[in-house]
Structure 1
Amino acid sequence: SSWDGAMEDKRNIPIIEWEHLDKRKFYVFGICMTMMIRVSVYPFTLIRTRLQVQKGKSLYNGTFDAFVKILRTEGTAGLYRGFLVNTFTLISGQCYVTTYELTRKYVARYNNNNAVKSLVAGGSASLVAQSITVPIDVISQHLMMQRKGESMGRFKVQNPDGKRMLVFGQTKDIIVQIFKADGFRGFYRGYVASLLTYIPNSAVWWPFYHFYAGK
């Protein structure tokens, strides 16, 4: 029937392999689009993090209340604390796709089964991406905790509102404090939990995608 034909056309999705990808456009447009999205959602990521950390409702009564109070006391910059550092996680997104495609290409030398290639590549891609993302997230989340004149977290920058602090001065301060307190492991708090969350998800999702696309 015409309906079955339409469904078959929709399911027959072409798979673009790594060698066919316009890598310049992919990296440039991918980063630009992701940056635009992050600029719009980052304030709510910061608010969510503070709401999760605060004791009861000691500071904020909810999302809207937190938004107004942060804007009033800390200005627009307060809603974007840690944003510059967090943008480095954009690298992890590009590394994820690059690792995925290159691993698929490598596995294809030994096994050309789409499910096997996608399973191995998906897990490998998440491993690489999380190895980059987790330490950046740890640092940016500590920066999110820096309120005007005080801190909601374990660490407090020496001069959170001082004009003499360079753009990444607070970041350097937090990095030094994390390293002094916890060593290198301090940058990978929650790393295993992240791997257990993202690797199985990625490893299972891609085989299903290729199975669906090839139907």
Structure 2
Amino acid sequence: MQQKRNIQIIEWEDLDKRKFYSFGIFMTMTIRATVYPATLIRTRLQVQRGRSLYNGTLDAFVKILRTEGVRGLYRGFMVNTFTLISGQAYITTYEVVRKYVSLYSDNNTLKSLVAGGSASLVAQSITVPIDVVSQQLMMQGQREHLSRFKVHTDTGGSKRVFGPTRNIMGQIFAADGLRGFYRGYVASLLTYIPNSAVWWPFYHFYAEQLSRLAPSDCPHLLLQAVAGPLAAATASTVTNPMDVVRARIQVEGRSSVMDTFKQLISEEGFWGLTKGLSARIISSAPTAIVMVVGYETLKKLSLRPELVDSRHW
């Protein structure tokens, strides 16, 4: 009975890799499309000075929808879809490093912490250039121009779809060279490595605690779906200050993490470190639910056939 009440973790060696990657791409794309508007709103809130444009998450959503339409909520989305590559790199690194650490320790918290941090390091090395471009595109279309670069609109055909992206990339390269595409890389690592390293241990912790409180016949997937947003809210709260700094460095063209941090504190006080937190939690909580349900279902669907009957769900 106790064995059934514990959350059973599907490890890397239990998976059919072909199914895992095929289903994983579709799952990742669906998640990106679902939460992208909240990501865009969070970025705009973090970059604005004080409350110069928006008074909060809901106010930003209403104003963007009214002035820019639904398309405004998806500015830069086409570029952001390239993060599918980093998404696959992330989950592969997480599972492989977790397997490697298990050779030295059976402690699940340690395995999750090391694997989560390593996965984020690899993924951010791929994601940062994509983020730099997509965040510049996110900042277009506002009454007050908060980005260093301004898209020169083209008309007709493919230029209307891909023109702004090429335009922004050209301006970034002209201003900063190749280094410009990795602006904020250190800040991103300081944000997302701790975020990932915190999320996974808390996710397994919350899932295990819920499994002890829930009836023995409660589906594990339901418990995991609740544990996901709890872990996301915890990790978001811990890492939001650095996320604000990261967004400003990438959008405003700054180079120093410490100088950006000091200026933020001097201009807006410590409350400035909470900018975009509600939007971040609003986006991360549903993302966590979709991700957890999708990821655990993905692993269940990808489980090697001979192991299916041995698992309790």
Query: TM-score, length-normalised on structure 1?
Result: 0.76
Name which of 20, 43, 66 aligns with 2:14: 20
Question: In 2, distance between residues paired with 1:123 and 1:61?
Answer: 34
Q: CA deviation at 1:122?
A: 3.8
- Tell me which amino acid in the other structure corresponds to 1:57: R
- Name the stretch that deviates more: 140-149 or 15-24: 15-24
Pair 1:162–1:74, CA change in 2 (3 A): farther
Q: Which residue of 2 aligns with 1:113?
A: 105
Question: In 1, distance between residues paired with 2:175 and 2:156?
Answer: 27
Q: Which runs of 5+ in 2 are unaligned?
A: 209-313
Q: How does 1:198-209 map to 2 (within 5 A)?
A: 198-200=192-194, 202=196, 209=204
Question: Over the residues paired in the alignment, what is the CA RMSD in angstroms?
Answer: 3.2
Identity of aligned residues (%): 72
Name which of 4, 10, 13 aligns with 1:9: 4
Name which of 13, 26, 46 aligns with 1:32: 26
SS at match of 1:16: coil
Aligned length: 204
Q: Which residue of 2 aligns with 1:175?
A: 169
Q: Which residue of 1 aligns with 2:89?
A: 95
Pair 1:119–1:77, CA change in 2 (3 A): closer
SS at match of 1:97: helix
- Tell me which amino acid in the other structure corresponds to 1:16: I
SS at match of 2:82: helix
Q: Kindly indicate whether residue 169 of structure 2 is the aligned counterpart of residue 196 of structure 1.
A: no
Question: In 2, distance between residues paired with 1:95 and 1:107?
Answer: 18
More helix by share: 2
Q: Which runs of 5+ in 1 are unaligned?
A: none
Query: TM-score, length-normalised on structure 2?
Result: 0.55
Query: 1:31–1:90: 8 Å Cα contact kept in structure 2?
Result: yes
Pair 1:100–1:61, CA change in 2 (3 A): closer
- Tell me which amino acid in the other structure corresponds to 2:155: G
- Tell me which amino acid in the other structure corresponds to 2:64: I
- Tell me which amino acid in the other structure corresponds to 2:181: F
Summarize deviations over 1:64-96 as a string: whole Å, max 9, x none: 333233223222111110011112212212111
Question: In 1, distance between residues paired with 2:183 and 2:49?
Answer: 21
Name which of 58, 62, 70 aligns with 2:56: 62
Query: 1:86–1:137: 8 Å Cα contact kept in structure 2?
Result: yes
